[in-house]
Amino acid sequence: MLRISLLAILTLFTGVLHAADVAARLEWTKRVPLGSCASALVESVHVDVGDRVQVGQIVAELDPAPAIARLERAQAILARVRPEFEERTIELDHAEELFERTVLSEVELRRAEIRHAVAAATVAEAEADLKSAEAGVECRKVRSPLDGVVVARAVERGQPVVGSERAPTLVVVAAAGQMDAVTDVSVDALSTVKRGTHVVVYAGAERYHGRVVFVGLEPSSMEPLGYPVRVRFATPEGQQLRAGMPAVIELP
């Protein structure tokens, strides 16, 4: 039934139906679930389904209070240990000078070097903790990695989020400006379908020029035998297609 209706749409566009016309469905070219490695309450969600977003835009934020407290503590520790390191550096420089003048023994020089090394390690550890704390604050800001459109929103303000290696999805963003038409083609049709082949796609009562970006090497269906083909095409601004919509691909 779906194929018949799709081919009927195609006939309205062209008036002529070719044997190589195949039914397809639309998919997002790039679909990115966004999450956070932090565990906290959702402070705010700045977008909703259908909203356009730009790369780097904050789409949601988790409660920053615990992360800010850790950051302030790391800053305070670094501020406390830096003067000790600076003092040990001056001490070592002076010790080296006295040693060159044979006023200071090698044992005393070695002790100054050890005190300096310990102070340097303490500062390095504090600086590492500070960078980790800064990352923890940034981790609570969920940013879009691309220019696109919000296709799903999975959280609300006040909802708890538990961070893990597989962070829970908060918002899903899909790339804007292009879509993929996906279909299965027969073995016979594969001879005319190669990566880079230019084809025509009919979707949403519009006609688009696309390019084959993927031809599968393993079958996606056995009866009848079919191989997956993915066609990518640009969508003009203002034309919002949706994943799952029917389409027709006019193969060569």
The CATH number of residue 122's host domain is 1.10.287
Which structural domain range is residue 87 located in?
Answer: 65-138
Residue-wise pLDDT for 28-39, tens only, equals 999 999 988 888
User: Over 33-64, what HEC string results?
Assistant: EECCCCCEEEEEECCCCCCEECCCCEEEEECC
pLDDT averaged over every residue in the chain: 88
- Which of the four pLDDT bands, split at 50, 70 and 90, describes residue 52? very high
The DSSP code for 239 is -
- The reply to whether 186 and 108 lie within a common domain is no
Residues 47 and 76 placed together within one structural domain of the fold: no
Average pLDDT over residues 196-221: 92
**Interatomic CA distance for residues 181 and 244, integer angstroms:** 9
Domain identity same for 176 and 224: yes
Of the candidate ranges 24-28, 174-178, 203-207, the one whose mean pLDDT is the lowest: 203-207
Express each pLDDT in 2-31 by its tens digit.
444 444 444 444 444 444 789 999 999 999
pLDDT level of residue 236 (50, 70, 90 thresholds)? confident
Asked if the model's pLDDT at residue 63 lies above 50, the reply is yes
Is the same domain home to 156 and 174? yes
* DSSP percent split of the chain into helix, strand, coil, nearest 5: 35, 35, 35
Ramachandran sector of residue 208 (left: φ over 0; alpha: ψ -120 to 50; beta: rest): beta
Structural domains counted in the chain? 2
Residue pair 178/235 in contact (Cβ under 8 Å)? The answer is yes
Shared domain for 77 and 161, answered yes or no, is: no
Residue type for position 200: V
Same structural domain, 220 and 170: yes
Whether 96 has a pLDDT exceeding 90, the answer reads: yes
Q: How far is CA 207 from CA 37, 76, 199, in A?
A: 42, 62, 11
Do 207 and 144 sit in the same domain of this protein?
A: yes
Q: pLDDT at position 14, please?
A: 41
Please tell me the predicted confidence (pLDDT) of residue 164: 64
Residues 43 and 162 reside in one and the same domain:
yes
Are 215 and 195 within one domain?
yes
Percent of the chain clearing pLDDT 90 (strictly above): 69
pLDDT-derived band of residue 191, with 50, 70 and 90 as boundaries? confident
| Residue whose pair of structure tokens reads 């303490």 in the numeric block | 122
Verify that 169 and 239 share a domain, yes or no: yes
**For 237, which DSSP code?**
T
Q: CA 123, CA 146: separation in Å to the nearest integer?
A: 37
Q: What is the mean pLDDT of residues 58-80?
A: 96
Tokens at residue 209, please?
Answer: 């020029």
Out of 138, 169, 199, a domain closes at 138
d(CA 131, CA 35): 21
Please tell me the pTM assigned to this model: 0.73
Q: Would you state the torsion angle of the CA atoms of residues 149, 180, 246, 147, taken in this order, to the nearest 10 degrees?
A: 10
Cβ pair 179, 84 in contact under 8 A: no
Answer yes or no: do 53 and 110 share one domain. Answer: no
